Amino acid sequence: MLMVDLIRKKRDGGKLTKEEIEYMVKGYTQGEIPDYQMSAMLMAILFRHMDPEETVELTLAMMNSGEVLDLSAINGIKVDKHSTGGVGDKTSLVLTPMVASLGVPVAKMSGRGLGHTGGTIDKLESFTGFHTDISNEQFLQNVSKIGISIMGQTANLAPADKKLYALRDVTGTVDNLSLIVSSIMSKKLAAGADAIVLDVKCGNGAFMKTEEDATELATSMVDIGKRLNRKMVAVISDMEQPLGYAVGNALEVQEAIDTLNGRGPEDLKELCLTLGSQMVYLAGKANDEAEARQRLEQVLDDGTALHKFADFIEAQGGDREQVYHPEKLPKATLTCEVKAENDGYVEKIRCEEVGNTSLLLGGGRRSKTDVIDLSVGIILKKKTGDQVSAGESIATLYANDEQKMKEAAERLYQAYTFSERKTEPGKLIKKIIR
């Protein structure tokens, strides 16, 4: 079998077989197929596409390119959650202790952020001493003992995806449905969950800009999971404006703690209840989604989820007292109020620009080697549809560099569009695909 023959086959619109896809993925992962040939194949796939069977085989080959976690030692149905990412998305920090409180084992692998916001692991490292570099044995033990553990994605988990994504990023071949689906699902499947709940964002702050594109992606991922005997649900959620009010690692952690205390923003709480009810139902811990939601509301109201979060933080070396006293989390030295210039209403927030403002302050990474400043970020005071008066604060910036803060203030103000008439925000939950 020769790679050049497979490139020609796909270039001419042919369908790759299981054996050909396995040969291609294995050869590239092991360094036997060079970048220039794989680049040609990726471009052929971009223009000629893959059918559902090819996409399944590509996902499986990438999943099996490295370690596949065995979670069979953990009792019960293991449910994982994946978000396609957005600005202010601290959902995992609230959601995982909620569902773990109801006896649903949460064995989750998460990554660090690259771009305008930090990842789940970056946010969690706001807790003094918290770490995710734990062994597989410790990971499984923590899930069995307290119901939740989050570890970093190991180099051995779907290594083909790591190589292929880096190549796609520099060859203009990111925007292909089969390549996106196989990238996400190969990692999720290798992590060993029995059921997967997907939070697929759409809007100006998301990878998928339209509801139609988000639906197509979600439907494809649900289909792949079902073909591979996983229970699957996808929730299409809005990312036309940031989720909640906090953007920035320690600030988002504090907002997550507020939500676990029953006083967080309504949109964050609603999304967590929607995703959580799907997870609890798929795990067989409720007769229907309504019962699951009721039980999740109960663990928020009575403090069970908050205490579960503290147990989780402590089990991975963090200071549980910071859960109960979030004022001890990292603090920026400078603050700045961004004020409205005129009376009116917030018509629109360019969500991605809010994220880029946080990046400018140091709250994200431009490259994988960058060190994140966990203390910086933004607290929004006004969101879409809110009335504003001239001179009123629309956001507070938290910074450690005066020049960066000045630049960030100008950039954040430009992210807002104002009008004389009230605009209603878009619906948070667009649809659910089962």
175 given a catalytic annotation: no
126 given a catalytic annotation: no
Length of the chain: 434
Full DSSP string of 383-406: -TT-EE-TT-EEEEEEES-HHHHH
183 given a catalytic annotation: yes
Would you say 201 and 224 are in contact if contact means Cβ atoms under 8 Å apart? Answer: no
Would you say 152 and 109 are in contact if contact means Cβ atoms under 8 Å apart? Answer: yes
C-alpha–C-alpha distance, residues 414 and 395, integer Å: 12
Would you say 24 and 62 are in contact if contact means Cβ atoms under 8 Å apart? Answer: no
Choice among 10, 82, 269, 365 that is catalytic: 82
C-alpha–C-alpha distance, residues 46 and 36, integer Å: 15
Would you say 107 and 190 are in contact if contact means Cβ atoms under 8 Å apart? Answer: no
DSSP 287: S
CA triplet 90, 314, 262: central angle to 5 degrees? 45
Choice among 126, 183, 186, 375 that is catalytic: 183
The partner residues of 15 in beta bridges, in order of sequence, read: none
Would you say 7 and 37 are in contact if contact means Cβ atoms under 8 Å apart? Answer: yes
Nearest Cα to 431, choosing from 231, 224, 253, 202? 202
Instruction: From residue 83, give the alpha-carbon distance in Å to each of 122, 213, 236, 373, 397.
Output: 15, 15, 10, 23, 26
Nearby residues of 93 by Cβ (< 8 Å), 6 or more positions away: 120, 123, 124, 252, 253, 256, 309
Instruction: From residue 330, give the alpha-carbon distance in Å to each of 210, 224, 229, 375.
Output: 36, 41, 43, 5
Choice among 161, 199, 311, 373 that is catalytic: 161
Choice among 187, 308, 365, 430 that is catalytic: 187
Would you say 199 and 91 are in contact if contact means Cβ atoms under 8 Å apart? Answer: yes
Q: Where are the alpha helices (DSSP H) in 49-135?
A: 52-63, 91-100, 120-124
Choice among 90, 162, 163, 168 that is catalytic: 168
187 given a catalytic annotation: yes
Q: Which residues are designated catalytic?
A: 82, 161, 168, 183, 187
